[in-house]
C-alpha cells in the first residue's frame, strides 16, 4: 500500500504545470493585451486625433452659439433644437435650393470631425500634403468638422466656398461662413479662411437669386482678400478651381479633395454623380470632360475624394446617429469609426481565450493523471 501511495504522489506531480509553462502563458497573454492597447492608441486611425478633432469641433460650436446668443442673430430653437448656432433660416434672399432640416442638424454632431479624421487617414493623406476643400454654404457644421480634423492631423487646407446656401445652412445675412471665421479666430480656434469664393446657386453665378442678393454677396466677397470666381462655363470654372488648389499645394501635392454639399462646379452636370456614395468614394467611370466637376478632375488626377453629401446614407454607413438631441459628447457613439477599440477588445478576448484553453489543458492533464493513478491502484 505504501508503494502505491508513493506512486500516487509521484504520478500526481506530473500534471502540475511547470514554472516555465506558467511563465510562457503569462507572457503571451500580457503581450496580447499590450498589443491591443498599441492598436487602440497608435493604429492607422489614431483615436487620440479623432477625439481631439471632435473636442475642437465641440468647442467651436460653443463659441458660435455663445456669439449668436450675445451678439446675434438670435438662434431659433424651434429649428436649431440643440442651440448650436449652425442652423440657418428656412428662407432668405441668399437661399439657393431646398434643404433637409434633419440632415443639417445631424451634421452638428461634434463626432463628424472624428469621421473626417478617419476618412482623411483612409484616403492616405500624408503629413504636409494639402487638403483641398470645395464647399457650398449649405453645411457650415461640416466645414467646422473639416477645420477640426485638418487641425488635429496638422494638415494644410485650401478652401473654395460657394457663398449661396440651401435652406437651414449658412444663409443668414450677417452670419455667413465669413462671419463664422471671425468668431472662431477671436476665440482662438482653428478655422479655414477661403482662398476663393463663388456665388454658388445656378451655374455657380447665383442666376436663381435676385439681383439685389447677388450684388450684396459680391460686395461682402470684395471685402475679403480671396479670389472671386464668376464663370458659368463649367470647364473653365473647374479649371480655375484646380489652379487655385495646385498653387496652394506648391511643392507638395494634394492629398485629398473634400466635397461638402452639392455645388454645381464641384459635382459637374453628369447624372451619374447623383449615385456617388458618401464618404471616401471611387467612381467606376468618369464622364466626358465637358460634364466633369472638380470631383471628377481630382479623381482623374489620382487624388482621393471624400464626398460629404446625403447625410442619411453617410450616418448609416459610418455608424453616427441621425438628428440626435441632445448632441453626443465628443467621442461618444463612434462605434464604426473607432474600430480600433473593437480590434483591441478582440485581441484582449484572444488573450482570455488563451488563458482559458491553458487552464482547460491543465485540468485535462490533471484528470488524466488521476485516471492513471486510479488504474495503477
Residue 12 lies in a domain: no
pLDDT at 357: 85
Q: How confident is the model at residue 308 (pLDDT cuts 50, 70, 90)?
A: very high
Q: Is residue 79 predicted with pLDDT exceeding 90?
A: yes
Residue 13 lies in a domain: no
Q: 369 and 290, same structural domain?
A: no
- Which of 138, 134, 157 has the alpha carbon at shortest distance from 86? 138
Q: 75 and 127, same structural domain?
A: yes
Residue 335 lies in a domain: no
CA-based torsion, 117, 121, 124, 129: positive or negative: positive
**What does the DSSP assignment read for 182-234?**
HHHHHTT------SEEE-BSGGGBTTTS-HHHHHHHHHHHHTSSSEE-----H
The parent domain of residue 292 ranges over: 47-318
- In tens, the pLDDT along 157-195 reads 999 999 999 999 999 999 999 999 999 999 999 999 999
Q: 275 and 222, same structural domain?
A: yes
H or E segment and range at residue 307: strand 305-308
Residue 365 lies in a domain: yes
Q: 206 and 95, same structural domain?
A: yes
Q: 82 and 32, same structural domain?
A: no
Residue 326 lies in a domain: no
Number of folded domains in the chain? 2
Q: How confident is the model at residue 42 (pLDDT cuts 50, 70, 90)?
A: very low
Q: How confident is the model at residue 107 (pLDDT cuts 50, 70, 90)?
A: very high
Q: 87 and 35, same structural domain?
A: no
Q: 153 and 24, same structural domain?
A: no
Residue 165 lies in a domain: yes
What average pLDDT score do residues 259-285 get? 93
Better-scored residue on pLDDT, 313 or 3: 313
Cell of 50: 479623432
In order of 148, 180, 189, 220, 324, the CA distances from 62 in angstroms are 14, 12, 11, 25, 17
Q: 79 and 179, same structural domain?
A: yes
Q: 350 and 279, same structural domain?
A: no
What average pLDDT score do residues 216-228 get? 97
Amino acid at each position: 500500500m505504501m508503494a502505491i501511495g508513493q506512486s500516487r504522489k509521484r504520478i500526481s506531480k506530473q500534471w502540475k504545470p511547470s514554472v516555465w509553462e506558467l511563465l510562457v502563458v503569462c507572457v503571451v497573454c500580457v503581450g496580447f493585451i499590450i498589443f491591443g492597447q498599441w492598436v487602440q492608441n497608435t493604429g492607422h486611425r489614431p483615436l487620440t486625433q479623432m477625439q481631439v478633432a471632435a473636442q475642437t469641433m465641440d468647442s467651436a460650436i460653443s463659441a458660435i452659439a455663445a456669439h449668436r446668443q450675445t451678439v446675434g442673430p438670435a438662434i431659433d430653437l424651434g429649428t436649431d433644437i440643440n442651440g448650436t448656432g449652425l442652423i440657418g433660416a428656412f428662407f432668405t434672399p441668399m437661399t439657393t435650393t431646398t434643404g433637409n432640416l434633419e440632415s443639417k442638424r445631424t451634421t452638428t454632431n461634434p463626432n463628424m470631425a472624428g469621421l473626417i479624421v478617419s476618412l482623411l487617414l483612409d484616403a492616405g493623406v500624408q503629413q504636409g500634403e494639402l487638403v483641398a476643400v470645395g464647399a457650398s454654404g449649405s453645411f457650415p457644421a461640416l466645414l467646422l468638422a473639416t477645420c477640426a480634423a485638418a487641425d488635429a492631423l496638422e494638415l494644410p487646407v485650401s478652401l473654395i466656398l460657394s457663398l449661396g446656401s440651401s435652406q437651414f445652412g449658412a444663409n443668414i445675412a450677417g452670419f455667413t461662413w465669413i462671419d463664422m471665421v471671425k468668431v472662431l479666430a477671436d476665440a482662438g480656434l482653428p478655422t479655414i479662411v477661403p482662398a476663393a469664393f463663388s456665388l454658388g446657386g445656378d451655374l455657380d453665378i447665383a442666376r436663381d437669386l435676385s439681383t439685389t442678393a447677388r450684388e450684396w454677396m459680391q460686395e461682402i466677397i470684395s471685402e475679403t482678400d480671396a479670389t472671386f470666381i464668376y464663370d458659368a462655363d463649367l470647364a473653365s470654372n473647374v479649371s480655375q478651381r484646380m489652379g487655385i488648389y495646385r498653387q496652394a499645394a506648391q511643392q507638395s501635392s494634394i492629398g485629398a479633395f473634400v466635397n461638402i454639399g452639392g455645388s454645381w462646379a464641384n459635382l459637374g452636370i453628369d447624372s451619374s454623380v447623383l449615385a456617388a456614395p458618401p464618404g471616401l468614394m471611387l467612381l467606376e467611370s468618369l464622364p466626358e470632360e465637358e460634364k466633369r466637376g472638380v470631383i471628377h478632375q481630382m479623381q482623374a488626377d489620382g487624388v482621393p475624394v471624400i464626398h460629404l453629401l446625403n447625410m442619411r446614407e453617410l450616418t448609416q454607413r459610418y455608424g453616427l446617429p441621425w438628428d440626435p438631441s441632445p448632441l453626443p459628447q465628443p467621442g461618444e457613439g463612434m462605434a464604426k469609426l473607432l474600430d480600433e477599440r473593437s480590434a483591441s477588445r478582440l485581441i484582449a478576448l484572444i488573450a482570455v481565450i488563451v488563458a482559458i484553453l491553458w487552464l482547460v489543458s491543465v485540468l485535462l492533464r490533471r484528470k488524466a493523471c488521476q485516471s492513471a493513478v486510479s488504474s495503477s491502484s
